């Protein structure tokens, strides 16, 4: 099935999927992306939903069911991810297959992640040219952290399988991270 045939059929549901966040503002961004996608491609894509892989609703199962309830027979997951990491290889396929199992007469596919594309490079250049963020001197407090207590500031992401010894700078694998 070619991608062009997918978007030209009215019974195709599109789910734009991200990781999900504990921050409502981040999750609202995905909803905004889905609404803008639906508006821009309204002539080709009548059923567009958004989903978070985890941490927030709607999840993939909920979005899949919504697409089916709106008349979709074929669902295309569009991951809002840059690369073919663990979420694209394992998590999204697993969650999508579980969601699809509830709807015997549906088909689905998971599109490639965004990847390296000239459009992404253009967007990065647009951000560079915007020059709308504060310029900080080394040691100066970042205003984005003004409401974050010192004890809550991270030196690395909590989901990372590695840990950094703050005294020595040595990097090691976290126990139990399966890396």
Could you tell me which residues come within 8 angstroms of residue 81 by beta carbon, excluding any fewer than 6 positions away?
Answer: 18, 19, 87, 88, 113, 114
- In this prediction, residue 2 carries a pLDDT of 44
Which long-range CB contacts under 8 A does 54-58 form with residues at least 24 apart?
54/19, 54/20, 54/91, 55/19, 55/20, 55/21, 55/22, 56/20, 56/21, 56/22, 56/27
179 residues of the chain, pLDDT tens digit each = 444 455 555 599 999 999 999 889 999 999 999 999 999 999 889 999 999 999 999 999 999 999 999 999 999 999 999 998 888 889 999 999 999 999 999 999 999 999 988 999 999 899 999 988 888 888 788 888 888 877 776 666 666 666 766 667 667 777 776 66
Angle between helices 92-100 and 60-69 (to 10 degrees): 40
Select from 62, 58, 52 the least CA-distant residue to 20.
52
- In this prediction, residue 111 carries a pLDDT of 96
Catalytic residues: 19
- In this prediction, residue 49 carries a pLDDT of 97
Domains and CATH numbers, the chain: 3-110 (3.40.50.1400)
- In this prediction, residue 22 carries a pLDDT of 86
Select from 109, 43, 106, 32 the least CA-distant residue to 76.
109
* Cis bond upstream, residue 58 (ω within 30): yes
- In this prediction, residue 121 carries a pLDDT of 92
For the full predicted model, state whether its pTM sits above 0.85. Answer: no
Q: What is the DSSP string of 123-161?
A: HHHHHHHH--S----TTPPPGGGTTS-GGG--SS-TT-S
Q: What is the C-alpha separation between 55 and 22, in angstroms, rounded?
A: 6
- In this prediction, residue 149 carries a pLDDT of 78
Q: What is the C-alpha separation between 80 and 24, in angstroms, rounded?
A: 17
- In this prediction, residue 1 carries a pLDDT of 42
């Amino acid at each position: 099935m070619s991608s062009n045939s997918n978007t030209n059929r009215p019974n195709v549901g599109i789910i734009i999927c991200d990781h999900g966040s504990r921050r409502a503002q981040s999750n609202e961004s995905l909803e905004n992306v889905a609404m803008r996608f639906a508006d821009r491609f309204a002539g080709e894509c009548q059923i567009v939903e958004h989903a978070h892989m985890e941490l927030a609703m709607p999840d993939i199962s909920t979005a899949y069911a919504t697409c089916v309830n709106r008349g979709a027979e074929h669902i295309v997951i569009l991951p809002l991810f840059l690369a073919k990491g663990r979420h694209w290889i394992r998590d999204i396929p697993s969650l999508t297959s579980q969601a699809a199992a509830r709807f015997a007469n549906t088909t689905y596919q998971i599109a490639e992640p965004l990847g390296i594309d000239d459009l992404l490079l253009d967007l990065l250049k647009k951000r560079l040219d915007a020059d709308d963020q504060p310029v900080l001197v080394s040691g100066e407090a970042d205003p984005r952290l003004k409401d974050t207590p010192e004890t809550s500031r991270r030196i690395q992401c909590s989901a990372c399988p590695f840990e950094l010894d703050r005294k020595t700078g040595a990097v090691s694998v976290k126990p139990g991270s399966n890396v």
